A and B are shown apart, each in its own frame.
Chain A
Amino acid sequence: MSRPQNKMEGEAFRTSFPPEVEEVFREFRTCEFSTLTRSGVPIAWPLVTLWRPEEGRFVLTTSIGLPRKAFNIRRDPRVCMLFSDPTASGIENPPAVLVQGDAEVTDEIHAGTVGVEDYWERLYRIQPAGKIYSSNALLRYLTDWYYMRLHIFVRPRRVLWWPDGDFRRAPEEVDHVG
């Protein structure tokens, strides 16, 4: 299988995803985000993500207290995101979707929401109890690391999907991704 080259920076993103796939990007609470370790093992952790269709890329973040996935991306940008847990999505019989792509991670440590306000707003909407971390001075002191974040952007290169989330069937593939 061959993958198309990445689009040049600034070039419009034109891939059209099936509506049920875009709905999964919008509504699933987490994806299983895999990066490659130094020894080449793919390790996945659940992460909240935001799909920005106008940019053709996903936004994710990680605290500098949990930096390994960022180290992995700096060494090898190949990643994948599996959307396979529909809990709380409100979608009946959703497909499962696998996005393979290339990630970038910022060097700058972000201690606020600038540039990713939409990500934080989504995070607080889907995880309202997370507001507690900044609710008083003691918790702010104990959990300030939670807000020290590296930004991760993933540009899809290949997208596979399993209708009805049925992994016993061969997946369908979205044409002309990237």
Chain B
Amino acid sequence: MWDEIEKYLPMFDSAVLNVTDPDGYPYSIRCHPVPDRTAGTLRLDIEEGAPVRIGQASILCHSHDQNTWNQKIFVLRGDLEEARGGWAFRPEKFVPSLGVGGPLGAMRAVIEIRRNAAGYLKRRGLPRPRIAWREIEAVKDRASR
């Protein structure tokens, strides 16, 4: 996991930390994680007063280009902890997504998504829906004008 973190994290200027606030709602904030492999954590710069607390959390790194394409995405699951008067994130799982993991990773992702879709339908006893291609094409045309 740390090899992947050290490989992919530098591709992003910042990341999104996700925690729960005192009311139990998700709360997200941007920060700049600095990996410390020896300590097994990412040090975080979080403004004083943000509703963060020790416990389970996640980090999202993502980017896209001017056409919302060439996306790069990964997620870290782990725990938020106090560290030297600040905050640190201890990752437990690296979850790759688009643009991370090379062509093989992309192929694996597509196969998994197809399998998920088939499973979703099968568990509910539903036939594979017929896609309304005419509607799709009409919207594509409008968007191109």
Contact = CB atoms under 8 A, between A and B. Distances in A.
Contacts of B144: 124, 128, 131
B128 interface: yes
Interface in A131-173: 131, 134, 140, 142, 144-145, 147-148, 157-158, 165, 167-170
A18 B49 CA distance: 23
A126 B68 contact: yes
Contacts of A87: 63-66
User: By DSSP majority rule, is chain A's interface helix, strand, loop, or mixed?
Assistant: mixed
B57 A82 contact: no
Interface of B: 16, 18-31, 45-47, 49, 56-58, 60, 62-69, 71, 73, 75, 77, 97, 110, 113-114, 116-117, 120-121, 126, 128-133, 135-140, 142-144
Interface residues of A, number: 64
B62 A32 contact: yes
A80 interface: yes
Nearest to A160: B27
A30 interface: yes
Contact of A145 (B19, B27, B62, B117): B117
Contact of B26 (A79, A120, A121, A129): A79
Nearest to B29: A167
Nearest to B71: A46
Interface of A: 1, 3, 29-30, 32, 34-36, 39-46, 48, 63-67, 78-80, 82, 84-85, 87-88, 96, 98, 100, 109, 111-114, 117, 120-121, 123-131, 134, 140, 142, 144-145, 147-148, 157-158, 165, 167-170
22 contacts: A29-B64, A30-B64, A40-B24, A63-B113, A66-B116, A78-B25, A80-B26, A82-B28, A100-B21, A100-B27, A126-B68, A134-B131, A134-B136, A134-B140, A142-B110, A142-B114, A144-B131, A145-B117, A148-B117, A165-B30, A167-B31, A167-B46
A113 B135 CA distance: 6
A1 B140 CA distance: 44
A127 B120 CA distance: 27
A123 B60 CA distance: 22
Contact of B116 (A35, A67, A109, A129): A67
